[in-house]
Every structure is written in structure tokens, then in C-alpha cells.
Structure 1
Amino acid sequence: MVLTPSTMLPLGTKAPNFQLPDVVSEKTISLETFANKKAILVMFICQHCPFVKHIQTQLAKLGHDYVDKGLGIVAISANDVANYPDDSPSNLKKMAQELGFNFPVCYDESQEIAKAYTAACTPDFFLFDGDYQLVYRGQLDDSRPGNNIPVTGKDLRIAIDAILGGNSITIEQKPSIGCNIKWKAGNEPPYYG
């Protein structure tokens, strides 16, 4: 495990489009899936990472808390499943069902979508407004495995509530920290490492 921070993609960046299969429904998910939403949260996660396991219940809670408030949510896993079979689509599906995720969990086999978002770690969060402009990127909250800080989702929730309420985001945006995305050999992006 390599402890890796977010790249902190510049605010205002337009959300890269994608077309990825949802591991549960097998439907193709894209930005257009969320066209009627006030905001969209794109999360890069995986099944095996201890940082994701630490917050996975909060991720499910986010989905349920915001389902009727105009927030679209999609989780994407881009890990190399040849070397990390725990992150295979079937295991992602099992995780989504066991945790009760009510949002799509997609698999980015080519890793091109992770690169387009400059995702570096799991978890990595990107919040876009209704015009697909990046308004928040960074951590869920200050909790990490072993630091005894409760998992509340505070930082991300403040940002979500602000954007859904039509307000600007004033919270300090701190990088997320987690396991590095497991790139396929020779596929590492230039910002990695």
C-alpha cells in the first residue's frame, strides 16, 4: 500500500464525460445519467482498500441522505484486477449490494476515466455543480484508519450542502489520502508517483 494524496484538480475544471458499466445493473452510466441533478459527486473507490473500508458505511449513508435532494452520485473503480482480484466487477457488485449503495458503481477497465479525472487514490472525491464545473475535490473528512476521529463525512457534506443550496463553498479543501490507484503496468499516468 502506497499512501497517496489527491492531485487536487483545479477548481472550475469541466467534468470529463464517461461511459462505464454499472457492476450491479449492467447499465451504461455517463454524465448524461445525471443531467437533471443540481450536482454530481464522482468518487473513485475500490473494494479492498483499508481507507475505503474505513468510510464505506458513510458512503452508503451519503447516498441515502441525498437521494431526494438533487445530488447525483457515481462510484468508479479503476484498479488493475489482474493483480488485485478483490476489486473485480463481481466483488464490487457484492460490496455495493452488501452496503446498500443506491448509486451506480462502475468499473473503469481501461483506467482512462481515472486518468481524465486525475484520480490518484482511493477514496478520491470530485464534486461538480449542475454545469459540470468542479467545485470541490478532496477528503471526506479528517478521519483515517487508526486516528480515532469519527467518520462523519463533514468536509464533503459541507460542500454538497453549499452547492445544493446555491451557495459558494468556503470550506478549506484538503486532499483525500488513501491507497494509490492500482495502475496496470506501463499505464501509470504522468501525475502518478
Structure 2
Amino acid sequence: MSKTLSSPLTLGTPAPKFKLKDTNSSFEYSYDELKGAKGTLVFFICNHCPFVLHVMEEIIRIANDYRVQGLGIIAISSNDILKYPQDGPELMTEFAFKHKMEFPYLYDENQEVAKAFHAACTPDIFLFDVQDNLFYHGQLDDSRPGNGIPLSGSDLRGAIDAVIYNRTLASPQKPSMGCNIKWK
């Protein structure tokens, strides 16, 4: 399993705009249609990455906890499906159903959205404030597959609370770590 860190990105960077097909509904959605009244969380994930599989339970808990508070939740897969067919749109639909994802799971076929976000790994986590400026780009928590640290989502939850309640983020942002995005 390849370990790749998320790329550094300047806080305050505006959210890239996009329109992608949702594999859960077959509708196309733009960022503006999915953003939340209190902020927007964008996850770059895929179906097969052991880092993503390790954190999916906590991602679902976070989505369920914060969606009702006005946070928009968006998951995007950008992997090359010719080399990694297990990440194709049909299997994304199955993955979303299996994990009870009640938020869009968008397919970035040409990888332009991943490039616009400077996404590097799965999971790669971006939290935008109500003005659609990057507030947090970092890890879920210190847990990794096999390191024995239980999932808590503490780093991301702290950042989301800061966005929702208009607070500053006191702790430093540690990069996310996961499998590299499978580029064409």
C-alpha cells in the first residue's frame, strides 16, 4: 500500500467550481448545488484504498452528525478506472449503498476536478467555510490502518466545529495520508 500525503494548499483558497455525475442518483450536481449553509466538506475517496476503507465508518458518522447542522458533504472519486476498474461508477454505487452514504458520491472521469483541488491521495479532505474559502485541508485523525490508534475524527471534527461556530482553529493542520490518486 502506497503512502502519499495530501499536497500543501494555502488556506483561504476559493473552492473550485465543478459539475459532476452522482453515482448514487445519476444526476449531475455542481459545487454550488451541494454546498452547505454552514460550510462544505469535500472528500476525495475511492472504493479500494485501504486508508479509505479504514476511515469510512467515521466519515459516515461525521456526515450524519454535521449534515443536519448545515454542512454540505461531497465525496468524489477521480481514479483511472481503466487501470483500477474496481473504482468504476457502477461499483461506486454499490460502495455507497454498502456504506450507507447519504450524500453524493461524484465521479470525476477526466480528473479535472481532482487537479483543480490539488488532490493527491485518498482520503484527501477539504473543508470550506460559508464564503467557499478553504478553512481546513488535513487528516481525519491520527488513526491509520494497522497503527492501533482508534478512529475518532478529532482533527476534522475540531475543524468543522470551528467553521460552524465561527471560531479560529487552534491546532496545526496535519496532512492527510492515503493511497495516491491513480492518474491517467
Please say if residues 8 and 138 of structure 1, whose CA atoms lie closer than 8 Å, have aligned partners that are also in contact: no
Equivalent residue for 1:145?
145
Equivalent residue for 1:75?
75
What are the residue-to-residue correspondences of 1:122-161 with 2, within 5 Å? 122-161=122-161
Mapped to 2, the partners of 1:35 and 1:3 lie a distance apart of 30
Give the deviation of 1:63 after TM superposition: 1.3
Give the deviation of 1:34 after TM superposition: 3.2
Please say if residues 49 and 179 of structure 1, whose CA atoms lie closer than 8 Å, have aligned partners that are also in contact: yes
What are the ranges of 5 or more consecutive residues in structure 2 without an aligned counterpart? none
Structure 1 segments of 4+ aligned residues over 4 angstroms from their partners: none
| 1:79/1:67 CA distance change after superposition, 3 Å | same
Give the deviation of 1:19 after TM superposition: 0.2
Please say if residues 11 and 133 of structure 2, whose CA atoms lie closer than 8 Å, have aligned partners that are also in contact: yes
Please say if residues 35 and 71 of structure 2, whose CA atoms lie closer than 8 Å, have aligned partners that are also in contact: no
Please say if residues 51 and 179 of structure 2, whose CA atoms lie closer than 8 Å, have aligned partners that are also in contact: yes
- Percent of paired sites with the same residue: 52
Equivalent residue for 2:172?
172
Give the CA RMSD over aligned residues: 0.9
| 1:13/1:21 CA distance change after superposition, 3 Å | same
Mapped to 1, the partners of 2:173 and 2:5 lie a distance apart of 12
Equivalent residue for 1:39?
39
What are the ranges of 5 or more consecutive residues in structure 1 without an aligned counterpart? 185-193
Give the deviation of 1:75 after TM superposition: 0.3
Mapped to 1, the partners of 2:36 and 2:87 lie a distance apart of 30
* 1:64-121 alpha-carbon deviations (Å, 9 max, x no partner): 1112101001000000000101101111111111111111000000000000000000
| 1:36/1:151 CA distance change after superposition, 3 Å | closer
Equivalent residue for 2:66?
66
Equivalent residue for 1:116?
116
Give the deviation of 1:59 after TM superposition: 1.1
* 1:144-171 alpha-carbon deviations (Å, 9 max, x no partner): 0000000111100000011101112222
| Paired letter, 1:61 | R
Equivalent residue for 1:9?
9
* 1:41-76 alpha-carbon deviations (Å, 9 max, x no partner): 011000000000000111111111112101001000
| Paired letter, 2:57 | T
TM normalised by structure 2 equals 0.97
What are the residue-to-residue correspondences of 1:24-35 with 2, within 5 Å? 24-35=24-35
Mapped to 2, the partners of 1:67 and 1:4 lie a distance apart of 28
Equivalent residue for 1:107?
107
Please say if residues 44 and 124 of structure 2, whose CA atoms lie closer than 8 Å, have aligned partners that are also in contact: yes
Mapped to 1, the partners of 2:57 and 2:150 lie a distance apart of 12
Mapped to 2, the partners of 1:153 and 1:55 lie a distance apart of 9
* 1:128-151 alpha-carbon deviations (Å, 9 max, x no partner): 001100000010000000000001
